[in-house]
Amino acid sequence: QLEETMHELDETVKTRFKDMFDQTNSAFEAIFPQMFGGGHAHLSLTNPDDLLATGIEISAQPPGKKLTRLSLLSGGERALTAIVLLFAILKVRPVPFSILDEVEASLDDVNVNRFGEFLRHYASATQFIVITHRHGTMVAANVLYGVTMQESGVSRIMAVSLDQSQKEAIN
């Protein structure tokens, strides 16, 4: 009886994992060229015959480059690919909120702006708390909180709510 129950649970886990993996991979493949302005990428299972022990490998081909593993990409390309994976997961399984700490710090301005556009798009399903120093990300925000230290050990927080006219003025 116990072994039968464990087998049923294993089969349920395998089915749910494979379904979630396939959905996430489809979203990842669709979002990657949008975020990179071309190219393609996919997720693959390192051991598809054993879904309870498999790992996941990320392969990416940014525009003008050859298909390669994540570990061989530049720092900015790795960061952007990881951001794409985050948005793919959020597309498949939205969460109420997400905290991101300078995930776009190594990106160039064009990719920071794309990141900001994706934040705005996904903000209808997920509230983002983003720690950043990048202008393109700040422009995408509805509310900015600035933290300053006027004297040693004393922080001051300022909040600014941005409407569309203020966002246009910042640009």
Contact (Cβ atoms closer than 8 angstroms) between residue 56 and residue 21: yes
Q: Tell me the residue length of the chain.
A: 171
Assess whether 81 and 114 both reside in one domain.
no
pLDDT score, position 66: 94
Assess whether 100 and 78 both reside in one domain.
no
**Domain span at 44:** 1-93
pLDDT score, position 170: 57
The count of domains in the chain is 2
Assess whether 15 and 87 both reside in one domain.
yes
Assess whether 168 and 102 both reside in one domain.
yes
- Cβ neighbours of residue 33 closer than 8 Å, sequence gap 6 or more: 39, 40
- Cβ neighbours of residue 72 closer than 8 Å, sequence gap 6 or more: none
pLDDT score, position 78: 95
DSSP-derived letter for residue 72 is: G
pLDDT, tens digit, 9 for 90 and up, residues 40-63: 999 999 999 999 999 999 999 999
pLDDT score, position 86: 97
pLDDT score, position 50: 96
Assess whether 85 and 106 both reside in one domain.
no
Assess whether 7 and 72 both reside in one domain.
yes
- Of 45, 77, 93, which residue sits at a domain end? 93
Assess whether 83 and 122 both reside in one domain.
no
**Which residues in the chain come in under a pLDDT of 70?**
164-171
Assess whether 137 and 165 both reside in one domain.
yes
- Cβ neighbours of residue 115 closer than 8 Å, sequence gap 6 or more: 35, 80, 83, 103, 104, 107, 136, 137, 140
- Of 27, 62, 93, which residue sits at a domain end? 93
- Of 93, 109, 141, which residue sits at a domain end? 93
Assess whether 3 and 69 both reside in one domain.
yes
Whole-angstrom Cα distance, residue 87 to residue 29?
A: 11
Assess whether 32 and 86 both reside in one domain.
yes
Whole-angstrom Cα distance, residue 69 to residue 108?
A: 21
- Cβ neighbours of residue 73 closer than 8 Å, sequence gap 6 or more: 60, 62, 81
**Which of 131, 104, 133, 101 has the alpha carbon at shortest distance from 116?**
104
Whole-angstrom Cα distance, residue 52 to residue 15?
A: 10
Assess whether 85 and 9 both reside in one domain.
yes
Which CATH number do you get for residue 119? 3.40.50.300
pLDDT score, position 54: 96
